[in-house]
Structure 1
């Protein structure tokens, strides 16, 4: 049951990424290019996602436990620290250079979007290196 809901959620999320243009790196890069060919349409996508997440979390917190798990999976730490800031900076630079963040990159890979054959393996290498560095620390 849990796997089916996970699959359906991912499928809906993937279709949403394609329909919103998030799987198109040119659209993302145009959104980030505020001094050039700026395309503000992704601000509406982000606004809609923020409202949806806000309402979804409020509805989830009304429950004693999640539907498909025994407990809510919450982060252990709530403070902003150097690893969080470094990770956010690396994520932002990668997004700005490649025009993808991880979710849309996976969605764009099978539809043959330009750059995914470089971005996805590089992203996976970064994840691997990051995990190795974290394990050493």
Structure 2
């Protein structure tokens, strides 16, 4: 359970440290669950020092970090998430440190780790769900 922004920052730090390079992470949950906030803290954990915003209209933002490229994708407005493959998603995977997809669906991205954020009052319940060959990193 994430009880504060500091809890969210700590989760982001652990994920950024433990996820292997080239990981595809799906961020799911309702509007306002904290998906973009988690991306912001993951970018910071990887050493990015600029602003992080939702790519709702541009679809893809790239953040160069000392540890490699962080790719932030928002699939909310896409009628078919398969469009991301036509936009070059597979080109990012071998090169990027992490690819984070807000609103990504596991059936479209079969080898991914889903981070599901569910608001519970002011707190956020977090579930890490592996799909396909993805593994849940040890975060202890």
- TM-score by length of structure 2 reads 0.23
Which protein is richer in strand relative to its size? 2
- TM-score by length of structure 1 reads 0.24
Which protein is richer in helix relative to its size? 1
Higher Cα Rg, which structure: 1
